[in-house]
A = this chain, B = another copy of it.
């Protein structure tokens, strides 16, 4: 009986450096493939067979790297949030240190949208699929979300303290509306030339900060994005 105890518990690569000793490569390919499928099909429509195909392997083989479909998906979604936060954070550190709270918030919004639309299938995946996920997984992922929420909340608070945002508004609602508008872009954005990422990002920034009321002649509007 009992053949070899094959199949590791599908643990993530330790925090350490033991990155791709061989098959970690495929593991990554699988994650990437899953992110793309999730971004397009949503949690429901995502089939292991399609992920496997894109990763150049077989549905059954996925189980060597992940304990279950849910595990795989969870990791993708979690990464989506983590990566987004990391990206935005990194972008902010590159700003001149004297950058105003208002401009920092603006940059954050822009980078969030950009990252999602232009760069990362993981980000798109979690924007689109997180809502459809079973309760327990949802709860676990929410931890990451909350972390990102706190991060944004701080930016908003600083902008308030700085006089850029009316301190009277409900920070939480504001943040959620913002995130909503941003995440929803994945539903309608056309990667072909029809839509323009920067335009969308800038518009969202403008909505948050000055609104789209017809500009009073004297008042400067936030201009074209230029972060790096």
Chain A residues within 8 Å of B, Cβ to Cβ: 42-45, 128, 131-132, 134, 163-167, 169-170, 173-174, 176-185, 187-188, 195, 199-200, 203-204, 206-215
Return the contact of A188 from the options B163, B176, B214 (Cβ within 8 A). B176
The complex places the Cα of A42 from the Cα of B138 at a distance, in Å, of 13
Q: Which residues of B contact A212 (CB under 8 A)?
A: 165-166, 169, 174, 208-209, 211
Number of copies of this protein chain within its complex:
2
Q: A184 with B183: in contact, given A42-B44, A166-B215, A215-B166 (CB under 8 Å)?
A: yes
A44: nearest chain-B partner, CB-CB: B44
Q: List 27 A-B contacts (CB under 8 A).
A: A42-B44, A43-B44, A44-B44, A44-B132, A45-B132, A165-B214, A166-B214, A167-B214, A169-B203, A173-B199, A174-B212, A176-B184, A177-B184, A177-B185, A177-B203, A177-B207, A178-B181, A180-B180, A180-B181, A180-B182, A181-B181, A184-B184, A207-B208, A207-B211, A208-B211, A209-B213, A211-B211
